């Protein structure tokens, strides 16, 4: 699952490979995928790509946005892989070949978005896409501590931290993947109710959010994910260490089902 920090890693890599390239052939849904969501029929989608030059690559929360030399953008996101210049696999959901004979392959794993259009068209295409495009990214200057408190924690006083942070796209691009590490660094349990947090704890959560995003980006991604050149990142998730022990106090980590997924935390360090 591509989260915000993963999208930032991809964007960096795509900028160094795609910028200035012109698309010679484009094939969408060569292998149809039930949960590969597109906003246009295949032929129309492909015709918007043909002979277009790539002039920008951005991220909008956890989505990757490729800017064409028209007013169109290609938006990719969720559980997809994006690969560069490798042998073309037997099945794929988007294949772009460029005039210099390089290629880009996108495959949808469980589910994912493949959208194309102007910003206005993309915003209308799905509430998820709109939320990624329109809300400030946690790494943007306007997403400061005040914004975080007001728009995330203070809107859901009775929710638990997992519910407040990692459900309903509360923080654009942050899902289950990094939640465990953010809360571990902030020393707060995922089950803790927001209205019981002290000011110091709220501030610690905001700092941990920023620190974790930055750490994943600097380590070129997580070691559980692969990126543009098929390589894994080197960020080792704190709460997913193979020993299953707390990296600080070395007691066994708690792993349990909670709110439609798993939570992992240290019962000793996090309260």
Nearer to Zn ion, 31 or 241 (CB): 241
Binding Zn ion (rule: CB under 5 A), the pick from 25, 97, 203, 268 is: 268
Q: Is 183 in the site for Zn ion (CB under 5 A)?
A: no
Rounded to a whole number of angstroms, the minimum distance from the CB of residue 189 to Zn ion is 11
Nearer to Zn ion, 56 or 247 (CB): 247
Within 248-267, which residues bind Zn ion (CB under 5 A)?
Answer: 248-249, 266
Of residues 261, 174, 271, the one with CA closest to residue 213: 174
x/- map, 198-237, Zn ion, by CB under 5 A: ----------------------------------------
Tell me the DSSP string of 29-81: -SS--TTEEESS-HHHHHHHHTTPBEEEEEEETTEEEEEESSS-EEEEEEEEE
Q: Is 110 in the site for Zn ion (CB under 5 A)?
A: no
Q: Is 245 in the site for Zn ion (CB under 5 A)?
A: no
Extract the tokens encoding 151.
């728009």
Rounded to a whole number of angstroms, the minimum distance from the CB of residue 209 to Zn ion is 20
Distance CA 137, CA 261 (A): 24
Binding Zn ion (rule: CB under 5 A), the pick from 246, 263, 264, 265 is: 246
Q: Which residues of 53-63 are buried (b: 16+ CB within 10 A; e: fewer)?
A: bbeebbbbbbb
168: left (phi over 0), alpha (psi -120 to 50) or beta: left
Nearer to Zn ion, 218 or 256 (CB): 256
């Amino acid at each position: 699952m591509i989260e915000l920090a993963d999208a930032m890693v991809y964007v960096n890599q795509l900028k160094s490979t795609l910028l200035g390239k012109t698309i010679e052939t484009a094939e969408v849904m060569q292998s149809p995928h039930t949960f590969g969501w597109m906003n246009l029929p295949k032929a129309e989608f492909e015709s918007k790509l043909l002979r277009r030059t790539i002039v920008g690559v951005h991220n909008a929360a956890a989505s990757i946005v490729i800017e064409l030399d028209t007013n169109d953008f290609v938006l990719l996101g969720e559980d997809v892989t994006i690969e560069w210049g490798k042998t073309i696999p037997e099945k794929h959901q988007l294949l772009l070949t460029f005039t210099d004979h390089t290629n880009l392959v996108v495959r949808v794993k469980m589910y994912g978005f493949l959208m194309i259009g102007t910003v206005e068209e993309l915003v209308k295409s799905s509430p998820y896409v709109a939320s990624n495009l329109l809300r400030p990214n946690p790494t943007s200057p306007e997403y400061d501590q005040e914004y975080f408190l007001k728009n995330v924690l203070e809107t859901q006083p009775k929710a638990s931290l997992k519910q407040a942070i990692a459900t309903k796209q509360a923080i654009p691009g942050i899902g289950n993947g990094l939640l465990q590490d953010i809360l571990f660094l902030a020393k707060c349990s995922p089950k803790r109710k927001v209205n019981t947090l002290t000011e110091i704890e709220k501030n610690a959560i905001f700092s941990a959010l920023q620190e974790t995003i930055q750490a994943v980006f600097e380590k070129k991604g997580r070691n559980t994910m692969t990126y543009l050149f098929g390589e894994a990142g080197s960020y080792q998730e704190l709460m997913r260490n193979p020993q299953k022990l707390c990296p600080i106090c070395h007691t066994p980590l708690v792993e349990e089902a909670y709110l439609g997924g798993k939570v992992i935390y240290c019962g000793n360090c996090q309260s």
